[in-house]
């Protein structure tokens, strides 16, 4: 893999004529179509079928580049759990980002794609012995310690002459994120070591006792879809207090501080998103100030954006199968996808925008519940969407901000195969991931 750093860097764009949730390349096309990366979505749907996920390669690259430009002294790692495939690994790697993975599957895919293992960080609250052995064999750059049991387990696999760099995951008691299920910076959940009560300090002490482990720093992750900088500033203060405690007790200054990711994006016009420029200005300043108060050297900052890189680059395209008009005036448009390819509305009540593509119409907008095809009453993708009153079976609907936590969380519910993924770039489309078929399910069966 060749690292590319010569392209001009710009901050992510928002607010273009079609609305901020769409990729910056989105443009109105002929006959009501929508072009993304110079490719018509209706054309892509006809070529690859639906449901279809379209990824704008340049949007991914632009957003990755923006992080490197905004935070030139920090290390930026793309959070693979948002969405990972070989092409995505190539794109972020070529834009000089590292990779944050949380399973052997993500690690194996990345390395098989040619991503350098020394630029990979492995975390997770329940890493198996096999995953730890794999990470050591591949020589990943860092492993995040998430439990006391993991410390001796990992140390037993290492040798003192070649210690493994580790970060200790800390819970700074900062509540942030769009839903309780993703607020991981507070106590009472499965991740990390709370600062309060001394658990985090004890974990650092035990790591320091292991000659096969090299304590590189502290790690935290506050949550997901965070749109304000203030929670990160509070986390910096609390983590630097812990760095100072470690220095006072053990005479060691840990050289790295990882604030994780969770940077929020717009899913609908007018919604807030994290201001990267504001984050890049205020967080390093607060880190320097906090370290100055304690007389500490400023550790290197690490950040792990995933959604902020991938989500705005993706568009999901569905075909309408039925339109049902109820006696109460409600209208349901059922599409050929649903909670199997996007579980976020059912899990978190997530809200999306949606628009008709591939057909021009002068019909007035009318509230429509865009629902999925699955046998669940909760399989509702976009309730109350304003769509043309003449919406009919065969129409195509496009949903923006679909590049993160949809495909990566997709399931085989009702044995409906996961969708195909196509990349678009400067007027050309290519298939990245083929559609999952019934034969794929059958080949997993080994007996009856």
CB contact at 8 A, 274 and 264: yes
What are the chain's domains? 27-55+311-442 (2.40.37.10), 123-305 (3.20.20.10)
| Token pair 């052997």 in the structure block, residue | 104
Instruction: Please state the φ and ψ torsions of residue 23, each to the nearest 5 degrees.
Output: -55, 150
Active-site annotation holder among 85, 102, 220, 375: 375
Fill in the DSSP letter of residue 186.
S
Instruction: Please state the φ and ψ torsions of residue 46, each to the nearest 5 degrees.
Output: -65, -35
Per-residue model confidence (pLDDT) at position 176 = 59
Q: Cis check for the bond before 21: say yes or no (omega within 30 of 0).
A: no
Both tokens of residue 259? 């604030």
Active site residue 220: no
Per-residue model confidence (pLDDT) at position 433 = 98
pLDDT along the chain (448 residues), means of 10: 35 46 95 97 98 98 97 98 98 98 97 98 94 97 96 94 95 68 56 90 96 97 93 95 97 97 94 95 98 98 98 98 92 98 94 97 97 96 97 98 97 96 98 97 94
pLDDT in tens, 412-438: 999 999 999 999 999 999 999 999 999
Instruction: Please state the φ and ψ torsions of residue 104, each to the nearest 5 degrees.
Output: -65, -35
Per-residue model confidence (pLDDT) at position 17 = 42
Tell me how far apart the alpha carbons of residues 306 and 78 are, in angstroms, rounded to a whole number. 5
CB contact at 8 A, 268 and 225: no
Burial class, 398, CB count within 10 angstroms (exposed 0-12 / middle 13-18 / buried 19+): buried
Q: Are strands 380-388 and 365-371 parallel, antiparallel or unpaired?
A: antiparallel
Q: Which residues contact 244 (CB under 8 A, 6 or more apart)?
A: 294, 296
Tell me how far apart the alpha carbons of residues 396 and 163 are, in angstroms, rounded to a whole number. 54
Tell me how far apart the alpha carbons of residues 229 and 389 are, in angstroms, rounded to a whole number. 41
Tell me how far apart the alpha carbons of residues 43 and 247 are, in angstroms, rounded to a whole number. 60
Could you tell me how far CA 14 lies from the centroid of its own chain?
Answer: 19
Tell me how far apart the alpha carbons of residues 434 and 83 are, in angstroms, rounded to a whole number. 15
Per-residue model confidence (pLDDT) at position 325 = 93
Per-residue model confidence (pLDDT) at position 353 = 97
For residue 428, the cross-strand partners are 425
CB contact at 8 A, 138 and 112: no
Instruction: Please state the φ and ψ torsions of residue 234, each to the nearest 5 degrees.
Output: -60, -40
Tell me how far apart the alpha carbons of residues 310 and 445 are, in angstroms, rounded to a whole number. 33
pTM of the model: 0.92
Burial class, 363, CB count within 10 angstroms (exposed 0-12 / middle 13-18 / buried 19+): exposed
Per-residue model confidence (pLDDT) at position 15 = 37
Helix residue ranges, H only, 103-147? 104-112, 129-138
Spell out the SS3 assignment of 151-170: HHHHHCCCECCECEEEEEEE
Per-residue model confidence (pLDDT) at position 445 = 95
DSSP 46-101: HHH-SSEEEEEHHHHHHHHHHHHHH-TTSEEEEEGGG---HHHHHHHHHTT-EEEE
Tell me how far apart the alpha carbons of residues 35 and 426 are, in angstroms, rounded to a whole number. 10
């Amino acid at each position: 893999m060749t690292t590319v750093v010569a392209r001009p860097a710009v901050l992510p764009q928002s607010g273009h004529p079609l609305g901020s949730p769409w990729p910056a390349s989105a443009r109105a096309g002929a006959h009501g179509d929508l072009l993304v990366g110079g490719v018509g979505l209706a054309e892509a749907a006809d070529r690859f079928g639906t449901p279809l996920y379209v990824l704008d390669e340049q949007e991914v690259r632009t957003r990755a580049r923006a992080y490197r430009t905004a935070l030139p002294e920090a290390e930026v790692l793309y959070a693979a759990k948002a969405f990972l495939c070989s092409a995505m690994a190539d794109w972020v790697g070529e834009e000089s980002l590292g990779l944050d993975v949380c399973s052997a599957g993500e690690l194996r895919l990345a390395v098989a794609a040619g991503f350098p293992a020394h630029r990979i960080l492995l975390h997770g609250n329940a890493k198996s012995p096999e995953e730890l052995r794999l990470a050591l064999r591949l020589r990943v750059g860092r492993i995040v310690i998430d439990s006391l049991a993991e410390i001796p387990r990992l140390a037993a696999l290492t040798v003192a002459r070649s210690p493994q760099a580790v970060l200790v995951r800390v819970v700074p008691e900062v509540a942030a994120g769009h839903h309780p299920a993703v607020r991981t910076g507070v106590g009472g959940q499965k991740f990390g070591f709370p600062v309060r009560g001394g658990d985090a300090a004890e974990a650092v002490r035990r790591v320091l006792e292991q000659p096969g482990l090299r304590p590189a720093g502290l790690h935290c992750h506050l949550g997901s879809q965070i749109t304000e900088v203030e929670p990160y500033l509070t986390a910096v203060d609390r983590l630097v207090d812990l760095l100072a405690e470690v220095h006072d007790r053990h005479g060691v200054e840990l050289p790295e501080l990882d604030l994780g990711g969770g940077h929020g994006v717009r899913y609908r016009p007018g919604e807030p998103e994290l201001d990267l420029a504001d984050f890049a200005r205020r967080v390093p300043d607060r880190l320097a100030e906090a370290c100055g108060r304690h007389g500490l050297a400023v550790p290197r900052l690490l950040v792990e954006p995933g959604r902020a890189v991938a989500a705005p680059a993706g568009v999901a395209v569905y075909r309408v199968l039925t339109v049902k008009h109820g006696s109460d005036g409600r209208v349901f448009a059922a599409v050929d996808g649903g909670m199997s390819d996007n579980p976020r509305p059912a899990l978190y009540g997530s809200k999306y925008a949606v628009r008709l593509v591939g057909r021009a119409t002068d019909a007035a907008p009318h509230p429509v519940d865009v629902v999925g095809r699955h046998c669940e009453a909760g399989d509702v993708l976009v309730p109350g969407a304003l769509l043309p009153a003449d919406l009919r079976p065969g129409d195509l609907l496009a949903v923006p901000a679909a590049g993160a936590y949809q495909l990566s969380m997709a399931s085989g519910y009702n044995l409906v195969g996961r969708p195909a993924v196509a990349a678009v770039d400067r007027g050309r489309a290519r298939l990245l991931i083929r559609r999952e078929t019934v034969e794929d399910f059958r080949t997993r069966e080994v007996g009856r």
